[in-house]
């Protein structure tokens, strides 16, 4: 006999389901070392049978104190640390950080620098979405989809290697410009990549999007309504999957995104399937942006002409006293950033990555706060997951596409 | 958005200097909850994007030491707004919690509590989030050294002497710079030869 008066299950009075042992729950630990948690995420999960009744995400296993470190390094020295936030799209992080410092200093990057940054950001977005979708597809059971995505991502990483010397941790941006200009023929390689990427993306699309198993695993799972998405503080593809058309590249444009022609895909139901569709379409739009940026690539210098901010050219450093002094000052004391505070959010692949910099003047920030989109996404898990089945956890986690390096900082 | 309209509706907000041109106000802590409610309901700031805790330094002669900078975003107005609230008591910093208005305030406030030690009154579950439970310090405070301080390990490591020891990084010239001018690698980078 079931005594419903002593029932302590929060889901039972909602009439959603009834199982043999209502009210009796077990607590299970998922992670922190589990392949489908995409890093070191731990979920303290309470189950009633197969149904999740309560979830408590535990984060912090990858905490490295980046904000504390930032207070002790010059702006350019901190750029490599931003690589380790969302390591799947490191260039986006580099650029978001230097954009914030530039906003604080009132620096406007050169047109060529902006175009190069746009190309870097959008290629990173494609690479990051490819990993996100690959892991998502594999979590839902498709190993082939994983391989298709990673083949393409590998080609982008090869492009990055040619550009920056590093495949993942690029550290390519500097306050006032970039580490170096584009190498000869690099844009041609990007063009070759994009030409073969378009049909490859269609292949991924055909393989998974209409796959019956995938649809049944994802449709109606992990629903986040528009109202909830705003409450949770969702940004980026997760927010747009819920039907809100806030894309910071359109609404609060930076890097001259207002000059590019692209569409912002939005979902209608806010479920896991919509988030898949949004990311897939965003890759097509990113390819469009990269093509436009390559066509319109302006000539001219890549760095601004301010010896107190950017390093002088190396040949000048070796021959001229003035440049040698500037080189020494920028390298040891950092770029000269005035007193004040600035907040800048860039629409990164995982959502809006925000940097709040408080400066007391000089080359070292007084306080850097990193607003990590993955941190915000994970904070919503405790509201999204209850009411789902055990097997939906991997699908919801995959559809939210987060990175723990960014969450834990 | 009309700056005048905001300052007449909420006269306690004082315009704050902003290098980035953002709408920016100083808010007294006791009015923070009210101001955030008005911003959310009447000015359509649906999202609390971020809470940045700040520490103005332990040797500050006068004025508030701890505070928090709130960034709101309006999806209809497509704009940001910044509120800064400083804690009145330096030895026991406290601010009202915004968890009743914004769900995203939950983890943001836990993080500010964890790393800066600001207590958010009315938060349903104010526990450490990035550091482990029972960690004794608030590492983002300015008087916490960059190298770290020895701290007891998490409870689960009790009695487990094989667990990782906390070895502070050498401090000369920055967090990860080895000390200069010594020929022997062992002296330049003691961690690589530490007997653990």
User: What residues of B are in the A interface, CB distance below 8 Å?
Assistant: 17-20, 22, 46-50, 52-55, 69, 71, 75, 78-80, 82, 102-104, 106-107, 111, 115, 128-132, 139-140, 144, 146, 174-175
Of B47, B78, B129, the CB nearest to A59: B129
- Determine the pLDDT at residue B135: 81
- ipTM exceeds 0.90: no
- Determine the pLDDT at residue B72: 92
Q: Report how far residue A64's alpha carbon sits from residue A409's, in angstroms, rounded to the nearest whole number.
A: 6
- Determine the pLDDT at residue A193: 92
Helix or strand holding residue B84 (H, E):
strand B79-86
pLDDT band at B69 (very low <50, low <70, confident <90, very high): very high
- Determine the pLDDT at residue B191: 57
Contact present, B10 and B38 (Cβ < 8 Å) = yes
- Determine the pLDDT at residue B131: 85
- Determine the pLDDT at residue B157: 52
- How far CA A267 is from CA of A214, A277, B19, B28, in Å, comes to 17, 8, 36, 40
Token pair belonging to A172: 């390519």
HSE-up of residue B87 (Cα within 13 Å, Cβ side): 25
Examine the pLDDT at B66 and tell me if it is beyond 80: yes
Three-class DSSP category at A14: helix
Is A367 within 8 Å of B52 when comparing Cβ atoms?
Answer: yes
Is A230 within 8 Å of B55 when comparing Cβ atoms?
Answer: no
B97-117 pLDDT, tens digit each: 998 889 889 999 999 999 998
CA dihedral A129, A131, A134, A137 (to 10 degrees): -60
Q: Report how far residue A247's alpha carbon sits from residue A231's, in angstroms, rounded to the nearest whole number.
A: 17
- How far CA A198 is from CA of A95, A211, A280, B123, in Å, comes to 26, 20, 11, 49
The sign of the dihedral angle between the CA atoms of A123, A127, A130, A132 is negative
Contact present, A276 and A218 (Cβ < 8 Å) = yes
Is A342 within 8 Å of B18 when comparing Cβ atoms?
Answer: yes
- How far CA B145 is from CA of A153, A190, A324, A370, B169, in Å, comes to 41, 46, 34, 20, 11
Is B19 within 8 Å of A106 when comparing Cβ atoms?
Answer: yes
Q: Report how far residue A348's alpha carbon sits from residue A236's, in angstroms, rounded to the nearest whole number.
A: 7
pLDDT band at B125 (very low <50, low <70, confident <90, very high): confident
Q: List per-block mean pLDDT (blocks of 10 residues) for chain A, which spans 409 residues.
A: 45 51 76 76 86 88 88 88 90 92 90 92 93 89 88 92 89 88 90 92 90 87 89 90 89 89 90 91 92 89 86 84 87 86 91 90 87 91 88 88 88
For A345-359, letters b (16+ CB in 10 Å) and e give bbbbbbbbbbbbbbb
- Determine the pLDDT at residue A7: 45
Helix or strand holding residue A324 (H, E):
helix A321-333
HSE-up of residue A406 (Cα within 13 Å, Cβ side): 29
Q: Note the pTM of the prediction, 2 decimals.
A: 0.85
What residues in B contact A73, CB-CB < 8 Å?
A: 174-175
Of B20, B48, B131, the CB nearest to A233: B48
Of A65, A231, A376, the CB nearest to B139: A65
Rounded to 10°, the helix A90-105/A75-83 angle is: 150
Helix or strand holding residue A207 (H, E):
helix A186-208
Other Cβ atoms less than 10 A from the Cβ of A99: the count is: 23
State the smallest CA–CA distance between residue B171 and chain A in angstroms: 11
User: What residues of A are in the B interface, CB distance below 8 Å?
Assistant: 59-60, 63, 65, 67-69, 71-73, 77, 103-104, 106, 230-233, 235, 244, 246, 251-252, 338, 340-345, 352, 354, 356, 358, 367, 369, 371, 375-376, 378-380, 383, 408-409
Q: Report how far residue A266's alpha carbon sits from residue A165's, in angstroms, rounded to the nearest whole number.
A: 35
Helix or strand holding residue A30 (H, E):
strand A26-30
State the smallest CA–CA distance between residue B76 and chain A in angstroms: 9
Examine the pLDDT at B174 and tell me if it is beyond 60: no
What residues in A contact B111, CB-CB < 8 Å?
A: 375
The pair phi, psi for residue B72, each rounded to 5°, is -105, 150
Task: Give the residues across from A351 on adjacent strands.
Answer: A348
Rounded to 10°, the helix A111-139/A90-105 angle is: 140
Token pair belonging to A225: 């309504």
Contact present, A115 and A296 (Cβ < 8 Å) = yes
- The answer to whether the bond into A32 is cis (omega within 30° of 0) is yes
Listed in sequence order, the residues at least 6 apart from A409 whose beta carbon sits closer than 8 Å to its beta carbon are A63, A64, A65, A66, A67, A85, A370, A372, A375, B130
DSSP B179: P
Token pair belonging to A6: 């002593």
Is B103 within 8 Å of A59 when comparing Cβ atoms?
Answer: no
Token pair belonging to B75: 């999806």
Is A371 within 8 Å of B48 when comparing Cβ atoms?
Answer: no
What residues in B contact A63, CB-CB < 8 Å?
A: 130-131
What residues in B contact A380, CB-CB < 8 Å?
A: 103
Is A59 within 8 Å of B52 when comparing Cβ atoms?
Answer: no
Three-class DSSP category at B151: coil
Listed in sequence order, the residues at least 6 apart from B90 whose beta carbon sits closer than 8 Å to its beta carbon are B64, B65, B66
Contact present, A347 and A235 (Cβ < 8 Å) = yes
Max intra-chain CA distance, chain A: 92
Q: Report how far residue A69's alpha carbon sits from residue B37's, in angstroms, rounded to the nearest whole number.
A: 35
Q: Report how far residue B38's alpha carbon sits from residue B9's, in angstroms, rounded to the nearest whole number.
A: 9
Is B140 within 8 Å of A67 when comparing Cβ atoms?
Answer: yes
């Amino acid at each position: 006999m079931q005594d419903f008066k002593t029932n302590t299950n929060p889901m039972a009075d909602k009439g959603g389901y009834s199982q043999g042992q209502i009210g009796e729950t077990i607590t299970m630990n998922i992670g922190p070392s589990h392949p489908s948690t995409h890093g070191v995420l731990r979920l303290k999960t309470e189950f009633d049978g197969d149904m999740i009744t309560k979830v408590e995400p535990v984060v912090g296993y990858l905490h490295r104190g980046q904000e504390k470190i930032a207070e002790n390094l010059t702006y350019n020295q901190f750029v490599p640390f931003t690589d380790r936030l969302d390591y799947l799209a490191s260039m986006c992080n580099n650029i978001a950080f230097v954009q914030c410092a530039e906003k604080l200093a009132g620096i406007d990057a050169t047109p060529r620098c902006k175009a190069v940054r746009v190309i870097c950001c959008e290629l990173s977005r494609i690479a990051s979405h490819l990993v996100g979708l690959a892991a998502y597809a594999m979590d839902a059971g498709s190993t082939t989809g994983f391989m298709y995505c990673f083949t393409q991502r590998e080609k982008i990483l090869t492009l990055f290697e040619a550009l920056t010397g590093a495949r993942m941790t690029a550290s390519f941006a500097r306050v006032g410009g970039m580490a170096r200009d584009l190498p000869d023929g690099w844009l041609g390689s990007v063009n070759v990549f994009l030409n073969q990427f378009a049909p490859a993306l269609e292949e991924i699309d055909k393989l998974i999007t209409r796959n019956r198993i995938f649809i049944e695993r994802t449709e109606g799972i992990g629903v986040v309504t528009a109202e909830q998405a705003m409450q949770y503080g969702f940004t980026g593809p997760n927010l747009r999957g819920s039907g809100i058309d806030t894309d910071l590249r359109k609404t609060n444009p930076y890097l001259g995104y207002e000059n590019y022609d692209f569409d912002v895909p939005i979902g209608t139901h806010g479920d896991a399937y919509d988030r898949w569709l949004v990311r897939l379409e965003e890759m097509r739009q990113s390819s469009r942006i990269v093509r436009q940026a390559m066509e319109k690539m302006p000539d001219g210098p890549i760095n601004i002409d301010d010896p107190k901010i950017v390093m002088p050219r190396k040949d000048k450093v070796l021959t001229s006293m003035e440049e040698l002094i500037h080189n020494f000052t920028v390298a040891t004391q950092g770029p000269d950033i005035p007193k004040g505070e600035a907040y800048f959010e860039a629409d990164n692949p995982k959502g809006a990555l925000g940097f709040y910099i408080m400066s007391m003047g000089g080359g070292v920030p007084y306080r850097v706060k990193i607003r990590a989109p993955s941190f915000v996404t994970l904070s919503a898990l405790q509201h999204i997951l209850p009411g789902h089945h055990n097997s939906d956890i991997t699908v919801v986690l995959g559809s939210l596409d987060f990175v723990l390096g960014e969450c834990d900082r | 958005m009309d700056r005048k309209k905001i300052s007449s509706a909420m006269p306690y907000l004082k315009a704050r200097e902003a290098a980035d041109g953002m709408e920016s106000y100083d808010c007294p802590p006791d009015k923070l909850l009210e101001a955030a409610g008005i911003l959310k309901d009447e000015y359509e700031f649906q999202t609390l994007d971020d809470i940045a805790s700040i520490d103005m330094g332990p040797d500050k002669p006068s004025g508030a030491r701890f505070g928090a900078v709130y960034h709101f975003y309006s999806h209809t107005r497509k704009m940001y707004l910044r509120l800064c609230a400083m804690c009145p008591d330096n030895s026991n910093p406290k601010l009202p919690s915004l968890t009743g208005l914004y769900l995203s305030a939950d983890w943001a406030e836990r993080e500010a509590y964890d790393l800066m030690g600001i207590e958010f009154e009315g938060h349903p579950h104010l526990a450490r989030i990035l550091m482990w439970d029972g960690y004794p310090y608030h590492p983002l405070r300015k008087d916490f050294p960059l190298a770290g301080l020895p701290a007891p390990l998490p409870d689960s490591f009790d009695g487990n002497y094989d667990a990782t020891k906390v070895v502070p990084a050498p401090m000369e010239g920055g967090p990860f710079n080895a000390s200069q001018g010594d020929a022997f690698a062992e002296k330049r980078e003691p961690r690589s030869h530490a007997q653990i």
